[in-house]
Amino acid sequence: MIKLTLGLDAAPRLAVDGLLPLGRVLRGAEPREIRRFLATRPVYDHHVPARSDRVGRSPEVQAKRGPFGSYDQADVMAAPHLLELATQPALLDLAAAHLGQPPLLYALQARWTFPPGPWGAGPAKTQAPHRDHDDARFLVMMIFLTDVAPAGDDGRADGAHVYWTGTHETADRAAPPAEGCVVVAGPAGTALLEDGRGWHQALPPAAPRLAAWARWGVSPRNLAYVNDRTRALPVAELGDRPFTQAWRESLPLRLATAPLVAA
């Protein structure tokens, strides 16, 4: 069973930098078990299924069609380990401290990012520096489910995540600064937390990269519900999960009014 602990400096580091690398939060066979489960589910041809043509395809087929292959949120929640990780008390406590109120888990998603193909060599939308506007305040955890190699001689890691520290508190900045760029890479199971209001990007991979991410916010309904069209997922749809009875009893309190999971 996953049990995540965080250092005493986690909250102040996240508050100042907007970024907190977590290292490997999934170990052993856990990333492989997630990949094995998702291999039985279709992907859709956009960074979120709501923007796609809603035709399910295999990752191998989708890799020839476009830069992304995203999974339906219900399939991601049904996968092993991810929901357990996203509801770790240590994470929820840190999210509460960063957001200033009990966090609402409003998204749990996963997608493949493919190397440049026949559709063109330019960066996809999320592969250019950008900042997100899901909510007034929100926090994102990204988990690599395939290996992301460390930086090479050019300083650019294959498929890595890039964040410009401190930019989550500079809403008037029209572009990322020249300094403060942090590149996060690592083996499958590596994760990071970031304030999504800061400037960030995903570097294009040389090989297919699978990643999952969870998002916590402060509003009962925010822009992600409109743009990504997430829906409440009844607890009954999750099947027989390895949660403790105590965790199940705390679910309504831990997730508050978040529409991600419905009783």
The mean pLDDT of 151-173, rounded to a whole number, is 78
User: Given the structure tokens 């890039």, which residue do they identify?
Assistant: 162
Structural domain includes residue 43: yes
Structural domain includes residue 214: yes
pLDDT at 233: 53
Structural domain includes residue 1: no
pLDDT at 244: 42
Q: With 70 as the cut, is the pLDDT of residue 229 above it?
A: yes
More confident site: 69 or 230: 69
Domains identified in the chain, total number:
1
Q: With 80 as the cut, is the pLDDT of residue 144 above it?
A: yes
Residue 99 near residue 139, CB atoms below 8 Å:
yes
* Spatial distance between the Cα atoms of 103 and 86, rounded to a whole number of angstroms: 11
pLDDT at 10: 95
3 burial type by CB count under 10 A (0-12 exposed, 13-18 middle, 19+ buried): exposed
* Spatial distance between the Cα atoms of 112 and 67, rounded to a whole number of angstroms: 8
Range of the domain at 148: 14-262
Exposed e or buried b for every residue in 133-143, given b needs 16+ CB within 10 A? ebbebbbbbbb
The radius of gyration computed from the CA coordinates of the chain, to the nearest angstrom, equals 17
Structural domain includes residue 2: no
The mean pLDDT of 219-232, rounded to a whole number, is 76
* H/E run at residue 12: helix 10-17
Structural domain includes residue 3: no
Q: How far is CA 50 from CA 43, 71, 109, 196, in A?
A: 12, 10, 12, 20
Residue 86 near residue 71, CB atoms below 8 Å:
no
Identify which of 133, 134, 198, 136 has the alpha carbon closest to the alpha carbon of residue 161. Answer: 198
* H/E run at residue 77: helix 73-78
Q: Is the dihedral of CA 159, 168, 94, 70 positive or negative?
A: negative
* Spatial distance between the Cα atoms of 39 and 236, rounded to a whole number of angstroms: 23
Structural domain includes residue 5: no
* Spatial distance between the Cα atoms of 240 and 243, rounded to a whole number of angstroms: 9
Band of pLDDT at residue 4, cut at 50, 70 and 90: confident
Structural domain includes residue 207: yes
Structural domain includes residue 179: yes
Of 83-87, 100-104, 237-241, the one with minimum mean pLDDT is: 237-241
More confident site: 199 or 258: 199
* 85's tokens: 């990780």
* Spatial distance between the Cα atoms of 114 and 146, rounded to a whole number of angstroms: 12
More confident site: 191 or 158: 191
* Spatial distance between the Cα atoms of 1 and 138, rounded to a whole number of angstroms: 27
Q: Which residues pair with 112 in a beta bridge?
A: 69, 210
Q: Which residues pair with 107 in a beta bridge?
A: 215
* 55 alpha carbon, distance to own chain's centre: 23
Domain of residue 165, CATH code: 2.60.120.620
Of 95-99, 101-105, 166-170, 214-218, the one with minimum mean pLDDT is: 101-105
